[in-house]
Structure formats: structure tokens, C-alpha cells
Chains A and B, each alone.
Chain A
Amino acid sequence: MLCRVANELFWMARHIERAENIARMLDVTYRTSLMPYQVTEPGLAWAEPWSVPLITTGLATEYYERNAALSAEAVLKFLILDAANPSSVYCCLRAARESARSVRGAITSEMYEDLNAAWLEMRRYDYDTVQQMGVSNFLEWVKMRSHLFRGVTFGTMLRDEAYHFIRLGTHLERADNTARILDVKYHLLLPSSADVGGAVDYYQWAAVLQSVSGFESYRKIYSDVITPRRVAELLILRDDMPRSLHCCINFIHETIEHMGDGRTRELERSSGQLHAQLHYGRTEDIIELGLHEYLMDFLQRISRLGDEISRVFLVPSY
């Protein structure tokens, strides 16, 4: 398969996954924002909910370059509709559709039609129409479009190289996102260590879980109160939780091994190492090292893995 095509497929998948993740974050933020966050007892103040998606995506600087203050409307516009913010839902869907269009021979016509339809619909939205249909409904729509596209891909595509690059893109992006979401809790928690175990803490961990569709799974697995240690275990180490780091790395490592040839040794080694770290890791060790430190290290490794994939497969070599 052509390097250019593989590259477009990889990024098409990443952009769709990114659109979904932005929608997930905003959805949880939106719901959290409906609760009172100014707790009157000293030391129990929440961080302003609308800052969370900006911190998670690493886009706070860009946001404040355009907006003087933090407001729900401005954050929503920035992360959903801003045509100049490459990580907005609008731009992600546009980029995914452009990629699909430029390699439409490599995907099934159902996939292209689905993505094209999503884009044509996205183009019709502005802030008023999003308000009219309801912010939650809109975010739900974004998630559903991503689910739908994944389903169409899974259901119609030949299990060839093209499929593997899509899978790699999806899971790299997802692993990156889950790690970022978990890490945000670190930023939020620090200033108010007094409330650990309190109501505020509960809502924050619940929000983290909800944003990765993990709330119900948590209840099912642990049938117990939410503790940070278990959330970390669920979202990092459990390999049966589809958005956990372990699960994402399983997909990535499996795919890389499957595509392995003489040129991929170093790539296989890095993905194998990361896989082993999650496969044999213990929650105690993560807590001991510090969740933040652990996640920072993970984000760095996953980003290096992405670079290596790019070097081996996606950039032409003579």
C-alpha cells in the first residue's frame, strides 16, 4: 500500500477518534457544570469545570489567545465549531473527511459515504443550532457518528494493511486521550487534598469514568464506592476495558507484530516494552511512582511509538 495512503488512513482514524474524545470531554464537563461547584466550605472549591477540557487537550494557551475569560459558550465554540482550531470537532471531521476523500479508493464506499454524510451534517451546525438541539444531544451525535464509522469500518473493510493503519491510528489516539483525562484529575486534585474521599472527589472521579464510558463498568466490576486506586486500575491496567491503556496497547502491539517484517524490529521492541509494562504492571507500583509521573512517561512513550510507526511505514524511504 502507498505510504501516502497509509498516512492518510492513520490520520483519518486519529481525527475521528479525536472528535469523539473532544465530545466525551465536553459532555462530562457540561454535565458537571450543571452542578454547583462553588462549595462554601473552605478548601472544597472545584476547579472551574470549563477549564478542564482546555487543560486536557493542552489548548488552554490557544483559548486565552482568543478569549479574555472562561465561559461555557466560548469553550464550546472553541472546541466544537472553531474552524481555526485544528482540534475542534469541526476541524477533526473536516480533516478526516478530507483524508478519506484523498484515499477513497482504499476504504469501502460505505465508509466514505458515512464520513461524507457526517461532514455534510457538521457543516450545517452553528452555535445557535447546537443550542437548539441541545448541547448534550449534539455531543451525543458526534459520539454516535464515531461509533457508526467504526462499525462501518469493522463491518465492511477487508482485513488488509489499510485496516491495520486505521486501527493503529484509532488506538494511539485513544490511549493518548485516556492518559490525558486521567492526568487532569491530578491537576484538579492538588489544590484541595483535604477533600479526598469527599463528595467533590466522588463527582470528579465519576466524571473521569463517565468521559470514557467507564462508570457502568466500574460499578459492574467493583460493586463498590469509587476510589482513585480502582479508577487507575480500571483505566490503566484492565485489558477488558475498551478505553484503558492496556487494551489500546494490546491492539497496537498485536497490529505491529502482525505487520512485522525486517524493518520493524525497533518498532516491535518499543511496542512490546510498553505492552509488557502494562501487562505485568501493578497498581501499587503506579501509585508509588505517582500517577502523574506514570502518565507523563506513558504519554511520551506513546508519542515516540507514533513517530516510529510514521518513520517505518508512512514516510517514503528510497
Chain B
Amino acid sequence: MKAAMSRLPYDEMRLEDGTVRPHYQPFATWLAQTPAARIAQKREEAERAFHRLGITFAVYGEDSGTERLIPFDIVPRIIPASEWTMLERGLKQRVQALNAFLHDIYHDQKILAAGRVPAERVLGNSQYRIEMQGIKVPGNIYAHIAGVDLVRAGEGEWYVLEDNLRVPSGVSYMLENRRMMMRLLPELFAAQSIRPVQHYPDMLLKNLHAVSPAGEDAPTVAVLTPGAYNSAYFEHAFLAQQMGVELVEGQDLFVQNDTVFMHTTRGAQRVHVIYRRVDDDFLDPRAFRPDSMIGVPGLFAAYRAGRVTLANAIGTGVADDKSIYPYVPDMVRFYLGEEPVLNNVPTWQLARPADRDHVLAHLDELVVKEVHGAGGYGMLVGPASTAAERAVFRERILAAPETYIAQPTLALSTCPTFVESGLAPRHIDLRPYVLSGMTVNLCPGGLTRVALREGSLVVNSSQGGGTKDTWVVES
């Protein structure tokens, strides 16, 4: 692990001797030939356009209604098609296994009986929804939309960082970033074959149709949002518009005889499939948190009765929990009888005494994460931490070891990025969106997030991360 740290991070654009990798050649040429002033102008143009388009996210903890842009960088992240083929195969395999796992733990629990995943990890998990046991969902699909976070640590060396199976967001940035790049740099799209991503909403709609309740061949789909003040509201509205379906809030829906309807100007209209961007807890005040103001009373009963499909299903959080993560490669073997294509990051579970001793002795080298944490909150990046921060984490770990895991500090690959001082390497990750319906499919690429602070490994937008367009190019 120490060796991995001292190594220079993998640069997506250049080899160690500075030569440009073949798949970056057309871009490098453009970069070399375009005057700095012109590039600066393109960057300003992009920022203005994002503002005007209102592609913003709300920031929690600041004045309510604060809207911010996620910084966009015009240097694309480029993946050669050959490498993408491998990633695509691995992602499909992983999501298939995760869906099989979810179906299993809410029905026969074979994997628990076989002892491949400790039963208490699953059944005792706060994300496990006992209410979901025995409920039949169309196609046995639970995670219709999965956002799998990948990082690269070297040539051909990819790791899955986490599987987001609840309400993964960011896909609108993938689409808008592409639109922006085609507008700013059309010449590059003409010069090489970059796989398109703009059909994502079509794919999503087709998948949602495919999982409608039995016997519905013309289902009505709706996107359920917590409302205009949610941080991802732009995305909810964007996807509803792109799919041509209604964007509904809880107050727009009501349930009668286990059937979900929306209030329309022509009276009540039935809804069959809900792409919900509301967390499990808030979906139905009668079934879950009674104080939820954004849910729909009776929704869970309708869901139980098979009268409405929710995407994603309720109770998927147990499978993307950091305490379950170490077992995903084994799920691939168990359900699919295949060797996993994609690797996990080696993970120490602090509930195990041996792991805990090792981690506490190497806090300055490791990344410690809260099992239920999300968005880069509640995490310690060892090499970048102060002794005081490590002391605080040591206390917290000892107080509740089962709520933490630790991983080696990976040398995440970097991509050249425009920062104040000019072009500089910054760490990146990749979130492809895997869609499951009748089939499992995904758009080439995904969302590349970039940590804009020098040396930072945290790419979350809530922590000052930016985004890049992601190109899969024929090599």
C-alpha cells in the first residue's frame, strides 16, 4: 500500500515520459493549436450558458434557496473503447448480481443460508426493509438505476468505490456536459468518433415501461421529486422533461383502493410507474416516517398490492451499504457463477479486531469512511489529515467500530484540468449509470467528477468537486 502512494498518479492524458496517449491525441492537438485567449473565452461561454440554463444545485446548510453551479471543466475525460468494453461488461455483471442479491434477501435468503454473507450484516442492517420481505416486484428488479463509482489507480487497474442503488444523481450533468462540449468544440466531435450519450432518457423510459405492473401495456410514468428546493431538483425536472412524463410532488398524488392517481386539470389520472427521487423514509407517512410532508399516504400499500412500480424499489440501500460492499464480488460468484470483472478496493472492517488494530496503527495512510455516510461527509483521508483529526477519528472508531470501514489511499488517476494557475492535474472518478429493465444497459461513459483542490481526493459536488464530459472514443 505504501508503494502505491509514492508512485506518481496515473495521468489520463499523458504517459510518464510526457507523450500524449493515442486516444488523447486529437484533443492535445486542439489544445496546442488554440490560443489561450480563445480557450478562456470558451470556458467563460460555458459558465454563462450553465447559469442561463439554470443547471444549478441547491446547497444544504447555506441560506435556503442558495443555488450554485457545479464547476465544469472543458478538458474531457477520455476512455478508449477497448477499455470501456471491459468496464461495461463488469458493470452489467455487478449490477445483475446486486439485483439478484436484493431479490434473494427479501425472499429465500439463500446467500445467507450458504454463509457467504453474514446474516446479521443484512438482517440487522438499518437499511434492510423488513416490510419488503415476500413482495414481488416486476422482473425481480430492485435497482433500476444504479450509479457505480469507479476509480482508476493505474493502467488497466480499476476499482469500484461504491454502488449507489438508492437514488443516484448526476446523470443530468452527464447529458448537459455533452451538450455543452458539442456546442463549444464541435470540431473535435467531427474529428473523431465519440460515442453518443444523448439517448439516456429514451433508455430510461423504455426500462421504466418494461417494469410496469402486470397487464399494463400503456403505463403512465411519473418522476416523483421532493420539490423545487431539493438539491437535485434540476435533474428531476430535466429527466421528466426529456422523457416527456409528469414531474410530480407528493401533493400531486393520492391513493384510492390501492391505486395511485395524480390530480390533473381533467380530474384523477392513474399512475403506474414512479421514478422516485425521494428516499425510502419519506415515501409514505403511513408506512415509514410519519412526519414526512413530501410523501404519498397509502403509496406503500399500493406498492405491496402490485398496483404501482417504484424505481428504485424500496429497501435497496442495504446492498450499497459500505458494510455489505466487501461481499459484492462474492455475490457475482454466488448468483452468476462468474468471476467478477471489476475489483473492489481492499477493505478493512473495523468490527473485526484484527482489521481494527491494523487500521488504528496506520490511520495516517488510510481512508476511513462511515458505513452509512454519503457525499464525502464524515470521512478521514489519512495522508491529508492532521494529528488532531486522527485523534478524533480514533475516538469515534473505538466508540462504534462497526460503523466504520477503512481502505488504502488509492492513487486516483488525474486528468489535466483548468484551475486558476492554468492547466494542472486533478484527481477524478467515474460514475456510469447502469439501467436495468428487460435488459441491463448503459450509456458509454458516465459522469466524471474532478476534485478541484490540489491533491484532494474528494470529488463530491458538496465538497467543491467539478465535472467533466466523458468520452468513449473508438481507438
Contact = CB atoms under 8 A, between A and B. Distances in A.
Interface of A: 1-6, 98, 101-105, 109, 112-113, 116-117, 120, 161, 165, 261, 263, 313-314, 316-318
Contact of B263 (A2, A103, A113): A2
Contact of A98 (B228, B237, B262, B265): B228
A3 B252 contact: yes
Contact of B265 (A1, A103, A116): A1
B254 A112 contact: no
A2 B246 contact: yes
B193 to A, nearest CB: 28
Contact of B237 (A4, A6, A104): A104
B328 to A, nearest CB: 35
B265 A4 contact: no
B428 to A, nearest CB: 29
Contacts of A98: 228
A318 B254 contact: yes
- With most chain A CB atoms within 10 A of its CB, the pick from B53, B227, B247, B249 is B247
B251 interface: yes
A274 B264 CA distance: 27
B408 to A, nearest CB: 43
B54 A113 contact: yes
Interface in B394-431: none
A112 B267 contact: no
Contact of B53 (A105, A109, A161, A261): A109
Contacts of A102: 227-228
B248 interface: yes
A3 B53 contact: no
Contacts of A3: 252, 263-265
A266 B262 CA distance: 24
B362 interface: no
Given A3-B264, A317-B267, A101 B247 contact: no
B52 A117 contact: yes
Contact of B241 (A1, A4, A105): A105
Interface of B: 51-54, 227-228, 233, 237-238, 240-241, 246-249, 251-252, 254, 262-268
27 contacts: A1-B246, A1-B266, A2-B246, A2-B248, A2-B262, A2-B265, A3-B252, A4-B252, A4-B263, A6-B265, A101-B54, A101-B228, A101-B233, A102-B228, A103-B247, A104-B237, A104-B241, A105-B247, A109-B241, A116-B53, A120-B51, A120-B52, A161-B265, A316-B263, A317-B263, A317-B267, A318-B254
Nearest to A6: B265
Nearest to A104: B237
A116 B54 contact: yes
A117 B52 CA distance: 6
A261 B266 contact: yes
Contacts of A318: 254, 268
Contacts of B264: 1-3
Taking chain B's interface residues, is the majority helix, strand, or loop, or is none over half, making it mixed? mixed
- With most chain B CB atoms within 10 A of its CB, the pick from A1, A104, A165 is A104
Nearest to A162: B265
Counting from the closest, the 9 A-B pairs by CB-CB distance are: A316-B263, A105-B241, A102-B228, A105-B240, A313-B265, A105-B247, A3-B263, A104-B237, A116-B54
Given A101-B233, A113-B52, 7 more contacts: A2-B252, A2-B264, A4-B249, A112-B53, A120-B51, A165-B265, A317-B267
Contacts of B254: 318
- With most chain A CB atoms within 10 A of its CB, the pick from B54, B254, B263 is B54
Nearest to A97: B54
A104 B262 CA distance: 18
A2 B263 CA distance: 6
Contacts of A165: 265
Contacts of A317: 263, 267
A120 B227 CA distance: 21
Contacts of B263: 2-4, 316-317
Nearest to B223: A105
Given A104-B237, A161-B265, A4 B251 contact: yes
Nearest to A113: B52
A81 B53 CA distance: 24
A234 B469 CA distance: 57
Nearest to A2: B252
Nearest to B261: A318
A97 to B, nearest CB: 9
A161 B264 CA distance: 11
Contacts of A120: 51-52
Contacts of A5: 246
A112 B52 CA distance: 9
Contacts of A261: 266
A146 B304 CA distance: 49
Contacts of A104: 54, 237, 241
A102 B228 CA distance: 5
Contacts of A314: 265
A117 B53 CA distance: 8
B67 to A, nearest CB: 9
B196 to A, nearest CB: 19
Contacts of A116: 52-54
A313 B227 CA distance: 21
- With most chain A CB atoms within 10 A of its CB, the pick from B51, B238, B241, B251 is B241
Nearest to B256: A318
B106 to A, nearest CB: 33
A5 B254 CA distance: 16
